[in-house]
């Protein structure tokens, strides 16, 4: 663990926390938005735990996860679209709270399953971090990287995207906004574009990946996708 890596991780964490807070509470026009506070807790508490675990056990993996600069031209557009969707989702949820658009009842029957989905997404995320030491936020093949075909990777080829889909699609529902959920549904085709390009890179640069594709048929959701 290095001091530089610690401060880099801490800075990104605090910047993300501040950005999400601004995107939620400014459009809402108030801090009296309980669902927003709940989402912040659900997002950033596991993030702290994951960051501490990576810092202590896999600092190189943490360093790669902090590097978000894409080298693939197509992926730069995908990352930009994803960022735009996240901004729109938070803003729409905040505006809905402010102007009384239809919101899901708080602490109703849907609240707890949605929280469970969000935590399940984070649980899958932790497991992927444990299984794949070459995991990166950018699409490229690392030196000495090998195909992983066990654990979650024996079920689907992209378990990290399965985790993020669960997490990201549950976020607007935690916020109580069906309108924000409609916005985030657009994330599905965006992530499909990212996966298509990622698999092209892996087939070209990662030895054994073509055989792995024949072995594991599904990309994200077993028996469906």
pLDDT at 67: 67
Model pLDDT for residues 172-182, shown as the tens digit of each residue = 999 999 999 99
The whole model's pTM is what? 0.85
Q: Decide if domain 3-215 falls under CATH 1.20.120.1630.
A: yes
Check residues 66 and 97 and name the one with the higher pLDDT. Answer: 97
State the alpha helices, DSSP H only, in 29-155. 34-57, 59-66, 73-99, 111-131
pLDDT at 60: 78
Instruction: Kindly indicate the confidence band of residue 87, based on its pLDDT and cuts at 50, 70 and 90.
Output: very high
pLDDT at 18: 95
The Cα 158–Cα 198 span in angstroms is: 10
Residue 138 has pLDDT above 70, yes or no: no
Give the domain ranges of the chain.
3-215
Lowest mean pLDDT among 75-89, 135-149, 168-182: 135-149
Angle of helix 34-57 versus helix 159-174 axis, rounded to 10: 150
């Amino acid at each position: 663990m290095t001091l530089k890596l610690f401060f880099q991780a801490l800075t990104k964490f605090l910047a993300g926390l501040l950005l999400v807070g601004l995107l939620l509470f400014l459009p809402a026009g108030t801090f009296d938005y309980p669902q927003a506070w709940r989402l912040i807790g659900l997002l950033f508490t596991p993030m702290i735990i994951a960051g501490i675990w990576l810092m202590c056990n896999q600092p190189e993996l943490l360093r790669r996860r902090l590097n978000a600069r894409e080298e693939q031209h197509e992926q730069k557009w995908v990352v930009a679209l994803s960022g735009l969707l996240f901004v729109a989702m938070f803003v729409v949820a905040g505006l809905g709270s402010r102007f009384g658009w239809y919101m899901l009842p708080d602490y109703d029957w849907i609240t707890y399953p949605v929280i469970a989905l969000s935590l399940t997404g984070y649980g899958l995320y932790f497991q992927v971090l444990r299984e794949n030491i070459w995991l990166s936020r950018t699409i490229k093949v690392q030196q000495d990287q090998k195909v992983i075909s066990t654990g979650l990777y024996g079920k689907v080829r992209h378990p990290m995207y399965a985790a993020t889909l669960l997490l990201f699609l549950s976020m607007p529902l935690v916020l109580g906004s069906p309108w924000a959920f409609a916005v985030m549904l657009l994330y599905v085709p965006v992530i499909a574009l990212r996966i298509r390009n990622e698999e092209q890179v892996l087939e070209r640069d990662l030895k054994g990946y073509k055989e792995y594709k024949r072995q594991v048929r599904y990309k994200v959701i077993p028996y469906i996708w």
